Amino acid sequence: MPTDVRCLLATTEPYPVLRLVGTLDGPTVDRLRVSLLTCLADQAGTVIVDVSDLAVADPAGLAVFPEVSRAAVDWPVGELLIYAPAGSPAEWRDGDVPVSDSLDEAYRRLDATAGPRLNARLEPAVGAARRARQLVTDGCGRWDVPELAGSACIAITEMVNNVVVHAQTPMTVRLGLRDGALHVAVRDWSLAPAVFSGLAPTTSAGGRGLLLIDTVARRWGASELADGKVVWAALYPEDEAHTN
């Protein structure tokens, strides 16, 4: 018999709560993975997943939650937390994703770990990269990591210009500070993969594409969503000290 899992956004305050309804088994895992990543991308990267109405037909499917958590760990303040009420099967507590017995406990845990963040919604137009750089410079100044502003502006410029030139959709720019590292990301609504333009002449004013992000970030990548993608990068102050 066909099975499915529905993702219902129950509330967004003080943190988004995503209620899962249905049966988790082999056929539903891939769809659930994409749905969870998409919700994380659209809810500023912090989501409580309520599994009280989710039946688990195949325990192997529970691996989808740590997979999603690892995929989003370098997004700005990305965090996934499971709400499994008291009395839920013990298997929920056997994984790597934090589990809370109540929503109040989940809220307290997120309050204790939430880092500063900034975001902006931009149109794919001339001036978008400049606005994104202003956001990055502001964040680096507020969070006392001015040494990262230059590299982060390079990364965010390439991400935004990639959307303007190739995706041509509105975008959400996010940045956050976590454990001393600056995390930046751009979410767009194009199913086309992020474009890596490859090497370009040193005299070229552009065309280096995502290669430039690789030169300034310790880690970067792209995550596919149900209706687009997130391109992200993580930058560390100690890396700047080694390159200057």
Same-domain check for residues 37 and 102: yes
Q: Which domain holds residue 96?
A: 5-113
Q: To which residue do tokens 């687009």 refer?
A: 228
The average pLDDT across 84-99 equals 84
Mean of pLDDT values over 80-98: 86
β-bridge partners, 22: 5, 54
pLDDT tens per residue across span 136-194 = 999 999 999 999 999 999 999 999 999 999 999 999 999 999 888 999 999 999 999 88
The CATH number of the domain where 94 resides is what? 3.30.750.24
Element (H or E) spanning 234, and its range?
A: strand 229-235
Could you tell me which of 219, 182, 44, 178 has the C-alpha nearest to residue 119? 44
Are residues 142 and 84 part of one domain? no
Give the residues across from 54 on adjacent strands: 22
Are 167 and 90 part of one and the same domain? no
For CA atoms 164, 200, 196, 158, give the dihedral sign: negative
Confidence of residue 207 (pLDDT cuts 50, 70, 90): very low
Let me know whether 144 and 201 are in one domain: yes
Does residue 228 surpass a pLDDT of 50? Answer: yes
| 150 and 95 within one domain | no
Claim to verify: residue 126 and residue 223 sit in the same structural domain: yes
Two tokens, residue 221: 């990548």
Q: Count structural domains, the chain.
A: 2
Domain boundary among 113, 147, 180: 113
Q: Judge if 164 and 80 occupy the same domain.
A: no
Q: For the chain, what is the mean pLDDT?
A: 88
Does residue 133 register a pLDDT over 90? Answer: yes
The last residue of a domain, from among 69, 85, 113: 113
Q: Are residues 78 and 181 in the same domain?
A: no
Helix, strand and coil in the chain, % to nearest 5: 40, 30, 35
Looking at residue 149, what is its pLDDT? 97
Q: How many residues does the chain have?
A: 244
Say if residue 25 is in the same domain as residue 45.
Answer: yes
Last residue of one domain, picked from the residues 113, 143, 178: 113
Q: How many Å apart are CA 149 and CA 159, to the nearest integer?
A: 15
pLDDT value at position 196? 64
Beta bridge partners of 149: none
Q: What are residue 186's DSSP bridge partners?
A: 173, 231
Which CATH number characterizes residue 192's domain? 3.30.565.10
Clarify whether residues 84 and 32 are in a common domain.
yes
Q: How does residue 201 score in pLDDT terms, banded at 50, 70 and 90?
A: very low
